[in-house]
Structure 1
Amino acid sequence: MESKVQEQTTPKDLSSEAPGTLTKSSSMGDQPWQEWVAPVVDILAKVPEYVGEFFSEYKQPLTTVGLLLLAIISVKIIVAVLGAIDDIPLLAPLLEMVGLGYTAWFVWRYLWKASNRKELLAEFDAIKNQMFGDNA
């Protein structure tokens, strides 16, 4: 009878080493959800490593795909801006007139006479040498 009273007053969760401290229950590790949690935690812990390996292995194709997407997005933005400019009254015809005027000036200044064409070629060669060096 004395042992029965002692069992009732000493709960299983209390530590006998230090009064008032709880011990780990052995039944906590036997729960079925922990069988599924451990592999998921392991996989999630290795995700940065997997991503790093993937990017290091496929660096050039990913760069190419990224540049293609960037080019497509840039073209769409430019088309949208030009469409918005075209919707402004009198601005599109004004810009067309400016473009035609500059084209006429360029033809008159550089392409009309042979001496002016030689001058234009000399300017192109100077720019090419400045950019790529004298060996180009």
Structure 2
Amino acid sequence: METQSSEVKVTEINNETGTITTIQASQPQDELAKYGEMVSNFLASLPEYLGTIFNKYKQPLTVVGLIVGAIVTLKVVLAILDALNDIPLVAPTFELIGIGYSAWFVYRYLLKSSTRKELTTEIATLKTQVVGKGNS
């Protein structure tokens, strides 16, 4: 059985000088080296290219990153809460804590007129701090 070689032999005859030249070229290795050099050049220039893109689009990329980070954080928090909800007695305990806090809030701020005014003042102060001074 005969095996085929990946090398290419080219014979060149020069009539003037009477010399015969045989050239052996290995095409797959030459092409592989050429592609390897192209990939190497691309990888070498990649950090500079990415730095240029980041500097040009810094603010939009930061906003997109924050949005993606917020979505990932929300998914993780919801997964943790879902896992806690599957544990027996944790969900009823959270419900009792919520009912207790609601009862305290009603007793502390909503039963008396003076405490309702205090709550209204606190809400107005918080609104001013968050929104700023306005015509409200």
TM-score, scaled relative to structure 1: 0.61
Cα RMSD after superposing both structures: 2.6
Q: Which has the higher contact order (CA 8 A, sep 6+)?
A: 2
- Choose between structure 1 and 2: higher strand proportion: 2
Tell me what 2:16 maps to: none
TM-score, scaled relative to structure 2: 0.61
Residue 113 (structure 1) shift = 2.4
Structure 2 gaps of 5+ residues are: 1-28
Alpha-carbon distance in structure 2 between the residues aligned to 1:41 and 1:87? 52
Tell me what 1:71 maps to: 70
Residue 41 (structure 1) shift = 3.9
Alpha-carbon distance in structure 2 between the residues aligned to 1:123 and 1:50? 52
Tell me what 1:101 maps to: 100
> Pairwise mapping of residues 80-91 of structure 1 onto structure 2 (< 5 A)?
80-91=79-90
Tell me what 2:44 maps to: 45
Tell me what 2:110 maps to: 111
Alpha-carbon distance in structure 1 between the residues aligned to 2:82 and 2:92? 13
SS at structure 2 position matched to 1:89: coil
Report the AA paired with residue 103 of structure 1. Answer: S
Alpha-carbon distance in structure 1 between the residues aligned to 2:39 and 2:87? 58
Moved more, 118-127 or 46-55: 118-127
Report the AA paired with residue 107 of structure 1. Answer: V
SS at structure 2 position matched to 1:45: helix
Moved more, 34-43 or 62-71: 34-43
- Please identify the structure whose Cα radius of gyration is greater: 1
Report the AA paired with residue 74 of structure 2. Answer: V
Q: Identity, % of aligned pairs?
A: 48
Moved more, 112-121 or 96-105: 112-121
| Deviation readout 1:72-116 (Å, 9 max, x if unpaired) | 111111111111111111121111011011111101210122211
Q: Structure 1 residues 45, 106: closer, same or farther in 2, change over 3 A?
A: same
Alpha-carbon distance in structure 2 between the residues aligned to 1:91 and 1:46? 55
